Chains A and B, each alone.
Chain A
Amino acid sequence: MIHRECGVLKTTYEADMALYPLPIARWTVGVLAVLFFLVVPMTVHEYYLSLANLVWIAIIGALGLNILVGYTGQVSIGHGAFMSVGAYTAANLATRLGSPWPVNLLAGGLMAALVGAVVGIPSLRIKGLYLAIATLAGQLIIEWTINHVTFISGGVQASIEVARPRVGPMVLSTQRDMYYFLLVFVGLAIVGTLNLMRSRIGRAFIAIRDHDIAAELIGINIFRYKLLAFAISSFYAGVTGVLYTYFLGIANYEQFQITVSIDYLAMIIIGGLGSVLGSIFGAIFVTLLPIGIRYAMEAFGGVFFSPQTVLNLIPNLRLMLFGALIILFLVVEPDGLNRLWRNIRNYFRVWPFAY
């Protein structure tokens, strides 16, 4: 956040432990909340809200993965599969029992947490790349199961249509409705993660990431906390899956394949491992940059090439530019966009008196 911190004298423990110890930080959060809850949805076209919605979903998923990979140091390539567990749990509950969305959301999250904890068991013995392969196996097993067990997938097509969520008499179907619906959960996820990471659990996660043997020596139960990290991360993934299902109106197995897991990993690596703001930056970057590149190409491509060539060039050049920009950002700042942002902020903090 943009603020200066001089003259802050804390007199109570509560003040010292506050999430935002500075008044200006609280005001910034307040302004952002007003901006996103009131100004943006009231003023912009529905199309831009649909972009925001895609970003919201990505943020929740990225936060979840960052808890596991960034904060606890356990690599996972199974995030997409955990999302599908949540999605299919909710879709089955909704269509078979007709249960309301809050129940489905919670159930989807908890089921994903359970499955995530099971998939996380190998993390007790293996680390790093080996664990990545173990979670990859988890991803493939879950994909296979959903694909083949019609009790879960609801038929050979492996897709279950879900009715739009209702809040009281309102049916949430337009992008604007979805914007509010998703934004509430984005807010909860951000506040939840921020708080989790300064709690005893969060500190245990960070200790395990930094050195698991040392963490064990200071009395952290590795078994418990590693599985807890998997469970919490998968809970976020499950919730993301449920929200995605309600956003699209359908749970389909091809929406949660391995490429999705890779995309989420890309988000948190670009954004910054082990930071909440980084997850948000990464989600925005990966979701919106390709779209932004396309707009730029549509505007200027016609200057150089014929329309047919432009159509063929846009998607290919977009991929190349996207890849190049990822490399560029990671070379400029290996710690991700979050670190880049902090560097800029630190520079302006003392500006113009740099010395």
Chain B
Amino acid sequence: MVKKLGILFSGGKDSMYAAWLAKKEGYKISCLISIVSENEESYMFHTPSIRRVEEQAKSMGIPLIIVKTKGKKEKELIDLEKSIKLAIKDYDIEGVISGAVESVYQASRIEKICNKLKIACFNPLWQKNQLELLEDLIKNGFEVIVVGVFAYPFDEKWLGRKIDAKFINEIKKLQEKYGINVAGEGGEFESFVLNCSLFKKKLIIKDKKIKGSKNSWRMDIKLE
């Protein structure tokens, strides 16, 4: 069995839940790997705010590797490979975990890089029922908020909302009516984890700024 893993980490619910599962199954999380894309329409990555991810890493007590990319289609993959190589060199990781659920584009590119570098690749959320994923987050004590919405019928009122039973009910109704993906993996919304059992200290929002228009909004947060 491989032991030390690196998490491809965006700070959102999917990569955090994947990390949590790995820990639960007895793996050691040796480092977090965040790719920060300058292109908000990145093909591969959710584009986390560096400061936010740093706060999460600090609370988990896990080293963080940040690699910046311009977010151009194939260049992103070279930067991803670079970051994984760095994690192998600095933290002896034997495998990588991603929070990929449905995206074959994303999963197969990560698989190819890991295969080339001869390390393992795990996607423990692969094909997972989206509703089940949201319910698992609540059941296992994750505190997750919405920090971005990018599709009709979402608007700025959704920003900052906590993923709880009420959220799930409302989003279920939207799914029935508009066919949106309940867990947001299709890019409908972006989430941020404020607390879970991997954290030593819960993150608290000190300040927030909202920007956007129509059905595309982001919330920048400052943490205490």
Do chains A and B stick together as partners? no
- Chain A interface (Cβ < 8 Å from any Cβ of B): none
